[in-house]
Structure 1
Amino acid sequence: MKITAQHTQVLIIGAGPSGLMMAAQLLRYGIQPLIIDSKQGPTTHSKALAVQARSMEIYRQMGIADKVKQEGRPAMGVEICLYGEPRAQVRLDQVEGADTPYPYVLMYPQSRNERALLDYLTQNCCPVYWNTTFESISQTREQATVVLEADGESQTITADWVVAADGARSPVRKQLNISFGGDTYKNLFYLIDGKLNIHFDSDLVRLFLSDKGLAGFFPLPGDPDYFRIVGSLPKQYQDREDELSLEEVTPWLKQITGQAFEVTDCRWIDTYKLHHRMAEHFRSGRCFLIGDAAHIHSPVGGQGMNTGLQDAYNLAWKLAGVVNGQSKPRVLDSYADERMPVAKRLLNSTDRVFKFAMSSNPLSRFFKKHVMIRLLNYVWDKGGVRKLFFKTVSQTGINYRDSKLSLHLSHAKSIKAGDRLPCLSIYDEKKQITTDLHEWCAKPGFTLILMGKVIEEELFIVAKWLTQHYTGLINFYYLPPSEKNQQVFDAFEINKGQHKSMLIRPDMHIGYLNDAIDLDRMDRYLKEIF
């Protein structure tokens, strides 16, 4: 399919999960992006596997979470084995107050994620131009000029904005001369998707540690005996460039796991090295980097694909506001301000955990063998530790409290401006149904939520103010005090006779939090954005 447009408002380069999510989010705001990819079509390999709770919440807002959940396979935790023996379990179903409809890690391969997002684009009449390669980019203050190549023909188009989602080797990032600092781990790893001839409980990820290395078994959707197997190879394989066979990998895997098994149906086998790198900047002029083009790290915790999805989720509503003429261009500066610290923390934490897991020095071996399991079993008994672990892995704990878009005017200490809106169950007095706060934020745009006893006349004044100044930009909900909603008032530390006003950003983070209903103060906040 040939591109006929000579100009587009937003050009997305790369149709992996991050690029597809970017396109899908822009479509929610009425923007038809142009999305290209040099590949022949979507990936057929499983690749990234874990979908975290925060990503599922995004899918829910888009209306596709039920389909994704049905096709996936929930993993309820991790079993850690030392020298082949099960020694500890970290179960997510033991976490109290998980504060999400998805208290697990969904095993849902990247190929299926891409298909789900492509289906969303198709339903909204947004094609992907495959077999189209990025060649060069130049920028002015007003627009970017991009040269593409498709079917042996060169084509030049202009774009108001460019989003580079073109992977770790990002040609766009290289052309923009943005450094990609970091390193490559020495070890060579293997990946196998296949069926085992022994039975593992299908709701747990299994991690095997030994002096020989590590191996992880991740349940795949479908047949309960199919798993993704990831493991490290010994040093003699570090510089090997030709492909390894299953017969070569299996003996080494058996030594690490202490398990006598065979892979009876190998659907995919690959070897690769891992990297930890981050772009010096996430923006250059009218071009933004998202996903692997901006940061790559070890697969510890299944964070990579999810972080890219959230990059797109964060940037899309801001870019849509600017393109639609509703937001000030400076709001785009907050993308890098908010997402770069997230990527940096993730890079550092996954690097530390990965290096510890791979270390073979005597002290590390002693700690893993004699101390780690006892310590893990001890701290996992603490409810606060379990909750913190889940919030970290699920990415529901990511906050933007230090962002310029976060204004906290409340005495509340547990929930602050910049935090992700907790997914608390609520009883909707108006509709007489039970729902949750995230459901109130399902529509595109900001959401204003007032809590506490507010007389009808004051509600009318707020509604009139929204209609006069922010028509179509802000959704409005009111939650009066009641016994059925007391847990919500407790969570936000609202005592009897008190109020709370919240402006929820389109990405379901709290932008503005105040203990009073102050329209003048709220208006000043909104005028910094709109």
Structure 2
Amino acid sequence: MIAPPQHTSVLIVGAGPSGLMMAAQLLRYGIQPVIVDSKPGPTDQSKALAVQARSLEIYRQMGVVDKLLQEGKKAKGLAYHKDGKYLAGLDLSKVGNNQTLFPYILLYPQSKNERVLLDYLTQAACPVYWQTSLISLKQLGSKSEATLQAGDNTYNITCDYIIGADGAHSVVRKQMGMHFKGDTYNHKFFLADVKLKATLDDQLISLYIDELGFAGFFPLPEANTFRIVASLPDELEQEENPTMDAVLPALNNITKKDLQVEKLNWFTTYKLHHRMATAFSEANCFLIGDAAHIHSPVGGQGMNTGLQDAYNLAWKLAAVLNGQIVPNVLNSYAEERMPVAKELLNTTDRIFNVVTSRSWFGNLLKRYVVPKVLKFGWENNGIREQFFKRASQTGISYRDSKLSLSLGRPTDIKAGDRLPYLEIYDEKKKAQTDIHTWCVKPGFTLLTFGHVQESFLFTIAKWLTQEYKGAINFFHLPYSSANQKVFDVLQITEGTRKAVIVRPDMHIGYLNDLIDISMMNNYLHNIVGFKA
């Protein structure tokens, strides 16, 4: 193995989805991190499967989303069964129409996500140091010294910042003395990747529930292939190495079908936990992904939340390392992401407890209440829209963040919200595009809307070039009937203007009815922390 460098600006411990995304995002800003992992290499045995719309938007911004769309499978719907009987279903094929370019749940395993990110790192000549473990961390003033073990060799490496992306048993978290509070669910569960003889619809997520447990069948991209997540039968709880053959009778019983396995790719048993770190940062150390929070698999949120953690932190860290923004901006990482993790933990815990409940009341809920909620709730456009916003993570907002500033008239969209996906007609290029495409370049983006004299647009462009030296991109959309929907959504009436400063993670930082350079300058310098 090639020895790692003696110093790096960022040391990332853990090369799962969160760590790889962190490295990939830093590379977009010209920061070359060192990333290590104790595993011998990427694994094919991964738990996560769903890629939500917000994660696909990140992949699109990186220019790699086409690979996921070509290789993944869109979930057509969800079918809910109790004691083998179909009780309710949800159409998921276009559930998020008009909210995103990706109005669905994409089924694409974690292992394949990792491969996409590894390819991105490889193209940027950023290696992963496999079979390399973190042994200890030591503070050296404003820096840290990490001791790494690779085979018989020990290396000491100093770093400006360290990222703990090393999972639920995070060595980084333990070394920094951060607590991991929560609990473990009572029963054991099993995971399996299998090819079945054509018994189930391989485009539907099928959930089966009875009094003793549950079984979820999640389609994989290959025909008739599923990821199965299910309760381990009680009689196998004490078995050291239960097998797929041993659990098959219980699966047949809960589904009331004769399931036949053509091919078993892998099988494992595990305990599920719901825990969260008491802090997401300490000095120059940050936790992301499973190192910071773990929860039940309800809603396919885990991997996506880790990707969002990395996406939120990376631009801030890069801006500090590149000397653009003062280090205080890093405090906003924990302030913004901890409430998201806490809410997710509470929500998934409540739903999972209902799904796995064995009480008479829990079974009553599962048989009579849940199907009605699914059926009638899904017929309500508002409820369906809110479901998608929560599941897709497009509804996550940082309105309470110190980096969010809304000025002018109150509107439905506020600073802190994700920039809505809006198709636009580019008056300058005379071509169709969308507002997210305007924000694809690294850095902040200033968007102005309405009637603005060309001379003032030149003044804004000159100000941004001289004051921020390429750190802020700039686009203007004049009023036109072709873009009426954009102006309606942003609540900009004819004859008025609006200025929107979009953060690098496509959340709105600043919103104002006035296009005022001094006010924008004040926001960027005094709130975000751009250096003069």
TM norm. shorter chain > 0.5:
yes
> Matches of 1:241 and 1:500 in 2, distance apart?
64
Distance 1:454 1:269, change over 3 A: same
> Matches of 2:446 and 2:420 in 1, distance apart?
15
User: Which residue does 1:518 correspond to in 2?
Assistant: 516
5+ residue gaps, structure 2, are: none
Shift of residue 210, structure 1, vs aligned partner: 1.3
- Say which of 469, 472, 477 aligns to 2:470: 472
User: Which residue does 1:105 correspond to in 2?
Assistant: 105
Is this contact kept in 1: 2:26–2:314, CA < 8 A? yes
Is this contact kept in 2: 1:77–1:104, CA < 8 A? no
After TM superposition, the structure 1 = structure 2 runs for residues 106-125 of structure 1, keeping only pairs within 5 Å, are 106-125=106-125
> Matches of 2:291 and 2:96 in 1, distance apart?
36
- Say which of 334, 337, 350 aligns to 1:336: 334
User: Which residue does 1:151 correspond to in 2?
Assistant: 151
Is this contact kept in 1: 2:97–2:103, CA < 8 A? no
User: Which residue does 2:343 correspond to in 1?
Assistant: 345
User: Which residue does 1:62 correspond to in 2?
Assistant: 62
- Say which of 448, 452, 455 aligns to 1:454: 452
Shift of residue 412, structure 1, vs aligned partner: 4.0
Shift of residue 97, structure 1, vs aligned partner: 4.1
> Matches of 1:26 and 1:428 in 2, distance apart?
30
> Matches of 2:47 and 2:140 in 1, distance apart?
37
Aligned length: 528
After TM superposition, the structure 1 = structure 2 runs for residues 178-217 of structure 1, keeping only pairs within 5 Å, are 178-217=178-217
TM-superposition CA deviations, 1:429-483 (whole Å, max 9, x none): 1111111111000000000000011111111111111111012100000011111
> Matches of 1:382 and 1:410 in 2, distance apart?
33
Matched, 1:397 2:395: yes
- Say which of 405, 408, 432 aligns to 2:406: 408
User: Which residue does 1:287 correspond to in 2?
Assistant: 285
Shift of residue 413, structure 1, vs aligned partner: 2.6
> Matches of 1:337 and 1:143 in 2, distance apart?
23
Secondary structure of the structure 1 residue equivalent to 2:74: strand
Is this contact kept in 2: 1:501–1:514, CA < 8 A? yes
Shift of residue 203, structure 1, vs aligned partner: 2.3
User: Which residue does 1:228 correspond to in 2?
Assistant: 227
TM-superposition CA deviations, 1:156-196 (whole Å, max 9, x none): 11001111101100011111110000000011111111111
Is this contact kept in 2: 1:318–1:331, CA < 8 A? yes
AA partner of residue 423 (structure 1): Y
Shift of residue 398, structure 1, vs aligned partner: 0.4
**Structure 2 length normalisation: TM-score?**
0.97
Matched, 1:246 2:244: yes
> Matches of 1:241 and 1:173 in 2, distance apart?
32
- Say which of 492, 511, 525 aligns to 1:527: 525
> Matches of 1:95 and 1:130 in 2, distance apart?
40
Distance 1:487 1:412, change over 3 A: farther
Matched, 1:10 2:35: no
> Matches of 1:87 and 1:504 in 2, distance apart?
44
Is this contact kept in 2: 1:92–1:390, CA < 8 A? no
> Matches of 1:333 and 1:141 in 2, distance apart?
19
> Matches of 2:98 and 2:114 in 1, distance apart?
27
TM-superposition CA deviations, 1:377-414 (whole Å, max 9, x none): 11211100000000100001000000000001132432
Secondary structure of the structure 1 residue equivalent to 2:254: helix
Matched, 1:438 2:453: no
Is this contact kept in 2: 1:412–1:492, CA < 8 A? no
Secondary structure of the structure 1 residue equivalent to 2:403: coil
Is this contact kept in 1: 2:74–2:93, CA < 8 A? no
AA partner of residue 247 (structure 1): D
User: Which residue does 2:21 correspond to in 1?
Assistant: 21
Secondary structure of the structure 2 residue equivalent to 1:301: helix
**Structure 1 length normalisation: TM-score?**
0.98
5+ residue gaps, structure 1, are: none
Is this contact kept in 1: 2:59–2:65, CA < 8 A? yes
Distance 1:446 1:57, change over 3 A: same
TM-superposition CA deviations, 1:175-234 (whole Å, max 9, x none): 111000000001111111111113332322011111131111100012x21111111123
> Matches of 1:94 and 1:322 in 2, distance apart?
40
Secondary structure of the structure 1 residue equivalent to 2:121: helix
> Matches of 2:318 and 2:76 in 1, distance apart?
36
Is this contact kept in 1: 2:390–2:396, CA < 8 A? yes
> Matches of 1:140 and 1:490 in 2, distance apart?
54
Is this contact kept in 1: 2:197–2:262, CA < 8 A? yes
> Matches of 1:170 and 1:94 in 2, distance apart?
38
> Matches of 1:135 and 1:371 in 2, distance apart?
51
Secondary structure of the structure 1 residue equivalent to 2:362: helix
Shift of residue 241, structure 1, vs aligned partner: 5.1
> Matches of 1:410 and 1:42 in 2, distance apart?
50
> Matches of 2:176 and 2:479 in 1, distance apart?
54
Is this contact kept in 1: 2:96–2:102, CA < 8 A? no
- Say which of 309, 312, 315 aligns to 2:310: 312
User: Which residue does 1:87 correspond to in 2?
Assistant: 87
Moved more, 96-105 or 79-88: 96-105
After TM superposition, the structure 1 = structure 2 runs for residues 161-176 of structure 1, keeping only pairs within 5 Å, are 161-176=161-176
- When the two chains are superposed, the root-mean-square deviation of aligned CA atoms in Å is 1.2
Shift of residue 126, structure 1, vs aligned partner: 0.5
Is this contact kept in 2: 1:449–1:502, CA < 8 A? yes
Shift of residue 291, structure 1, vs aligned partner: 0.5
> Matches of 2:330 and 2:512 in 1, distance apart?
24
TM-superposition CA deviations, 1:6-44 (whole Å, max 9, x none): 111111111111000000000000011011111111112
Distance 1:375 1:6, change over 3 A: closer
Moved more, 404-413 or 243-252: 404-413
> Matches of 1:413 and 1:237 in 2, distance apart?
56
Is this contact kept in 2: 1:98–1:390, CA < 8 A? no
- Say which of 270, 273, 282 aligns to 1:272: 270
AA partner of residue 342 (structure 1): V
Is this contact kept in 1: 2:4–2:34, CA < 8 A? no
Secondary structure of the structure 1 residue equivalent to 2:178: coil
User: Which residue does 2:493 correspond to in 1?
Assistant: 495
> Matches of 1:367 and 1:45 in 2, distance apart?
34
> Matches of 2:47 and 2:444 in 1, distance apart?
34
> Matches of 1:329 and 1:105 in 2, distance apart?
36
